[in-house]
Structure 1
């Protein structure tokens, strides 16, 4: 399972739905979607600022995360983007790998 953070911004149409249904019902709908794809929601938060909604969740793989993001965005209520989250242990593995890279001018 991979861990992802979805960043969502409501469209005008999405705000109408949010105002009609409320935050808790929208959380339930989004949680149902992620669980139906084999994942689970760790947290869902509304926010002030550039991003209206953050969802932190586990999903089986990148393809599933992409499918969730694309299909939610396709519905037209939310603009979505995703961030893959890494554990400290994954970073530990990464820093041990030898990468044959030569910077420009070296």
Structure 2
């Protein structure tokens, strides 16, 4: 399973419907699980992003499809970062020679 960091910002529509945001999060969790992934952690954040989620998905295509489904809803805009765990980081750095 690959780990992804999903950075999300509310759209104007999303802010106006912020009270329904927890229900939308529950739906998003169910949708990603149906695709074989999961939202491992979710945070409301202050600063550059409104929300951050740590997700797992079987591959990049699944995560891309999930992010697009979120965007189609019109309540958030997302940016997705592919995350390498420490062991992979060390392997990549050690391969530099």
The answer to whether TM tops 0.5 is yes
Candidates 68, 71, 74, aligned match of 1:73: 71
Question: In the alignment, what sits opposite 1:103?
Answer: none
Question: In the alignment, what sits opposite 1:14?
Answer: 14
Candidates 67, 83, 89, aligned match of 2:81: 83
Give ranges in structure 2 of 5+ residues lacking alignment.
Answer: none
Report the TM-score when normalising by structure 1. 0.81
Q: Offset of 1:44 from its aligned partner?
A: 0.8
Against the structure 1 CA distance between its residues 24 and 74, is the aligned structure 2 distance closer, same or farther, given a 3 Å change threshold? closer
Residue 6 of structure 2 is aligned to residue 2 of structure 1: no
The aligned length equals 97
Structure whose CA Rg is larger: 1
Distance in 2 of aligned mates of 1:24 and 1:13: 15
Q: Offset of 1:97 from its aligned partner?
A: 2.2
CA RMSD of aligned residues (A): 1.6
Against the structure 1 CA distance between its residues 92 and 5, is the aligned structure 2 distance closer, same or farther, given a 3 Å change threshold? same
CA contact (8 A) 1:8 1:52 kept: yes
Candidates 38, 41, 46, aligned match of 2:36: 38
Against the structure 1 CA distance between its residues 46 and 12, is the aligned structure 2 distance closer, same or farther, given a 3 Å change threshold? same
CA contact (8 A) 1:27 1:44 kept: no
Distance in 1 of aligned mates of 2:42 and 2:28: 9
